[in-house]
Amino acid sequence: MRLYIIKFLCCFIFIGATFSQKLLIPMDQLQTDHLKAYGVAFWTLKKGEEVDWLLNYRGGSFLINYDGILERELKIRGVYYEPVNTAVLTEIFVQIEENNMDMVLLEKLPKIAVYSPPDNQPWDDAVTLALTYAEIDYEVVFDDEVLTDKLKDYDWLHLHHEDFTGQYGKFYKNYHNAVWYKNMEMQFNATAQKFGFPSVHELKKQIAAKIKAYIQNGGFLFAMCSATDSFDIALATQNVDIASTVYDGSQVDPNYRNKMDYSNSVAFENYNLYTNPMTYEYSTIDVPPSHRTVTKGAEADYFSLFEFSAKWDPVPTMLTQNHVSVINGFMGQTTGFARSTLKNHVLIMGEVENDELVKYIHGNVGKGTYTFLGGHDPEDYRHFVGDPPTDLSLHRNSPGYRLILNNVLFPAARKKEKKT
């Protein structure tokens, strides 16, 4: 990347007067709408044009060739921008070269899929809220599309409040008589019968295996809330029945602990399962408030992002771009991850300092990557079933939602040789 910047500077020295003006979209505290700024970057890529992502420069700013249509779009969306001439741009490049910053070229419009059931669920999905607010195109897929190998048509896949263990989200205790729960049972069982699976837990475990294969073949996976640990648990229990009788009529395998295969999972190991249907937890991977030494309320709950070397570790640097380094915590069925359950290769990108709770992790599987973010909604500390969706027009500068959109933008980057 240093050579790229030097060549860019040389071009400006010799023919700077002939260059068109650039538009800088700062992502620091001056930005009026961080979330829609990502949407403008996607809008530019959709037009077939490139975007420079200035890592660690003013919060991870975007630099785009000047275009009257672009400028009008920025004004319509309420995104703050600054026109920059040759002299200012040269100063920016020098600053990037001399500090822990870098410039990544975004050139490929990623095709985005969100794994979600066709029927509306009584909870929101932070990622679809972010994509909709930022005006970023996406398509919805579910079990039929996964089982018929349609995932290969997408660059990026999101999983949210899903259950890949066949335990219907562990909602049995409080909601097994609810209409939406019964509809979910009927829908999942119908899909299992359609594809020849004797039970829902076997169906969902095959879904998890297909998603893992998608990552191994080069896909980008981003998961939040219960999709994180339930996905990994499903991979570790591919040939084991851990679903209670209330789910499928059969008993939990009494020897399931000895049959679990952590080597087949991607992020977690050495955890214990909660197979009791009356317990609203999957395993000891999660660190709910009740399990922490000190119970914190919304005002005192926060986690810190790691700072990575932009020039040497561009991937985690991209995924942690933000205008703040400390982010308000938020809960979910899976609020965060127990540090003791992480596999050795897992990269921690966000954590609660001096605490067992890890919030934000990343790893590689085959040719692809996965990123897990604990919690359900970055701007709703406790999001309960039936709560209305978050209005992002009230949270347009949300640091937590920026982490989501960093992940959406990540597949658009030109691939670079990994240095570490």
Tens digit of pLDDT per residue, the chain (420 long)?
A: 554 554 445 444 433 433 458 999 999 999 999 999 999 999 999 999 999 999 999 999 999 999 999 999 999 999 999 999 999 999 999 999 999 999 999 999 999 999 998 876 766 788 999 999 999 999 999 999 999 999 999 999 999 889 999 999 999 999 999 999 999 999 999 999 999 999 999 999 999 999 999 999 999 999 999 999 999 999 999 999 999 999 999 999 999 999 999 999 999 999 999 999 999 999 999 987 655 555 566 667 899 999 999 999 999 999 999 999 999 988 888 999 999 999 999 999 999 998 999 999 999 999 999 999 999 899 987 777 777 889 999 999 999 999 999 999 999 997 655 444
Within the chain, which residue ranges are assigned CATH 3.30.70.790? 2-106
Confidence (pLDDT) at 19: 46
Q: How far is CA 270 from CA 111, 233, 283, 314, in A?
A: 35, 11, 10, 30
Within the chain, which residue ranges are assigned CATH 3.40.50.880? 112-412
Query: Under a CB-based contact definition with an 8 Å cutoff, are residues 343 and 269 in contact?
Result: yes
What's the CATH number of domain 112-412, 1.10.110.30, 3.30.390.30, 3.40.50.880, 3.40.50.2030? 3.40.50.880
Distance CA(377)–CA(374), nearest Å, equals: 9
Confidence (pLDDT) at 157: 97
Confidence (pLDDT) at 17: 37
Name residue 273's amino acid: L
Half-sphere exposure (Cβ direction) of 231: Cα atoms closer than 13 Å? 28
Q: How far is CA 118 from CA 139, 141, 291, in A?
A: 12, 8, 34
Helices (H), 225-284: 226-236, 245-248, 256-259
**347 beta partners:** 362
- DSSP class of residue 301 equals -
Q: How far is CA 399 from CA 205, 293, 333, 383, in A?
A: 33, 26, 21, 18
pTM: predicted TM-score of the whole model, two decimal places: 0.92
Domain 2-106 CATH class label: alpha beta
Helices (H), 55-199: 68-77, 86-98, 126-134, 143-147, 172-175, 179-194
Dihedral of CA atoms 293, 296, 300, 306 in degrees, nearest 10, equals 50
Q: How far is CA 188 from CA 44, 125, 277, 370, in A?
A: 39, 20, 18, 26
Task: Report helix, strand or coil for 370.
Answer: strand
